[in-house]
Amino acid sequence: MTNRLSWLALSALLLIGGALPYPLKAQRTEAYQQSHPVFKRALELWHHEHYGAAMQQFDRYLQTGEQRLRKARASFYRARCAMALYHEDTEQQFLDYINTYPEIGNTNRAYFYLGKYHFRQENYSKTLKYLAKSKPQALKPEREDASRFMLGYAQYKAGNQQAAKQPLARLLDHPNAYRARASSYYGYINYQEKDYDTALQRFRAIQDNKKF
C-alpha cells in the first residue's frame, strides 16, 4: 500500500511539475545539449576564446546536427564568434538566428549583441535601432548596465540629449562598470542645459577618478 501511494505521488509530481525539479531539469537539459562531441568541442573552444576554431566546430554541427535546441545554440554562438572576430557578416548572422529560431526565447540577447556590435563600430544609428528592440531589464545585470550606457551614449552622440539622460541616470544609483562615465556625460548634458547644480554634483562624483 505504501509503495502504491509513493508511486501515485511520484506520478502526480511528474504531471504537475514536469519530470524533474527545475534546477535539476536545467542541469539535465544543459548536459544533454552539450553531449554531442562536436558541439561540446565547439563550446570548449569558445570558453577558451579560440573563436576561429570554435566557429568551425559550430559550423560543422550546424551542417550535421539534428537537435533543434542545440542547433539554435550553435547558431547563436557562431554569431558571437563572428562578432569577437570582427567579421563583416556579424549582423546578418544574428538576424538569421533571430529569424530562424524565434521560439527559443533568446531574441532579447541577440538584439543586445547587435546593438553592442554596432556600438563598437561607432554606428550609433544602428546601435539605437537594435537596442530599442531589446529589454535591458530582462538581461543579466552586467548586460543591463552595458545596454543602458550604450543607449545613453548613442543618444548623446546622435544629439538627442534629453533621450540620453534617462538611461544614463539609471547607472548613477548603484555600483557598476559604467557609473563614472555615465556621471561624466550626465553632468555635461546638465551643464549644457544650464543646470549647474546638478552638473557640479555629477562632476564632483568623479573628481577622484584618475580616468577623468
d(CA 179, CA 149): 9
Lowest mean pLDDT among 13-17, 22-26, 43-47, 87-91: 13-17
Q: Over 50: is that where the pLDDT of 27 sits?
A: no
d(CA 121, CA 68): 32
Q: Are 139 and 165 in contact (CB under 8 A)?
A: no
538576424: which residue's cell? 95
pLDDT, tens digit, 9 for 90 and up, residues 112-163? 999 999 999 999 999 999 999 999 999 999 999 999 999 999 999 999 999 9
The CB-side HSE value for 65 (13 A sphere, CA atoms) comes to 24
Residue 6: its pLDDT value, please?
40
pLDDT, tens digit, 9 for 90 and up, residues 72-109? 999 999 999 999 999 999 999 999 999 999 999 899 99
Count the neighbouring beta carbons within 10 Å of the beta carbon of residue 65: 15
pLDDT, tens digit, 9 for 90 and up, residues 155-197? 999 999 999 999 999 999 999 999 999 999 999 999 999 999 9
Indicate the average pLDDT of the chain: 86
